[in-house]
Amino acid sequence: MTNFGYTLMTEQSGPRELVRYASAAEQAGFDFEVMSDHYSPWLTEQGHAPYAWSVLGAVAQATSRVGLMTYVTCPSMRYHPAVVAQKAATVQLLSEGRFTLGLGSGENLNEHVIGAGWPAVETRQEMLTEAIEIIRQLHTGELVTYRGQHFDVDSAWIWDLPEQPVEIGVAVAGERGIRHFAPLADHLVAVEPRADLVTTWNSVAGAPTIGEPARAVGQIPICWGPTRTPRSGPPMSSSAGSPAGGR
């Protein structure tokens, strides 16, 4: 079964507009909505970068049916994973069980702002692994103390925790990344349109099978206009907006 979603792009719109778009997308019949989590836009001309988690809280109240998802959040640089666990639990409560936590290893564009440098990919994947472990432990409702290679947690407890656990999607690319993260995740976030990502994922021991119960979530850029503009040459297509997720 294929579900169709809408991307709330924090690089292209301000927070009030994003909430309006979210409500309109739900009314138009989209099944779910994902939101980028950027500190800076991709291009200066885009001109926006509101705080995604505040917007998600507002969207959770402005909508009632659609699924919500971060697409994606880096839980290892700008945010400590213990804080991400708290934020995800809160959004899950506000949305009454409609939220999926999409995670990734981050991009220099957004994460450099804290002045901690930009680790190599192997280090970022180690950090993401520890972050997922911490978030999973905190979402059990237990008091957590954790000592890792990259992160420490000292007597942390999520006070407002939803009864329905927050499921985690992980953005992966390449066979090595899939084989490492598939057993740690609930869903695949595909960063490129390749069917072999799903095939490889489903071949990994311990990974949830895509189709049931896992989902593969991907994104395609589309362009739509209310009128047709006459052209002298062949038709062309371009730019951005909504993802399609397949079950």
Residue in 107, 150, 175, 180 annotated catalytic: 107
Please name the residues in contact with 232: beta carbons below 8 A apart, sequence gap of 6 or more: none
- Is 167 an annotated catalytic residue? no
Chain center to CA of 21 = 18
Measured CA to CA, the distance from residue 45 to residue 26 in angstroms comes to 28
Q: Rounded to 5 degrees, what angle do the CA atoms 156, 165, 216 make?
A: 120
30 phi, psi to nearest 5 deg = -65, 150
CB 55 within 8 A of CB 15: yes
Residue with tokens 């049931």: 212
- Is 26 an annotated catalytic residue? no
Residue in 26, 38, 130, 167 annotated catalytic: 38
Helices (H), 105-228: 108-111, 121-138, 175-181, 195-202
Pairing of strands 67-70, 32-35: parallel
Measured CA to CA, the distance from residue 169 to residue 186 in angstroms comes to 6
Residue with tokens 């520890």: 130
Residues annotated as catalytic (active site), given as ranges: 38, 107
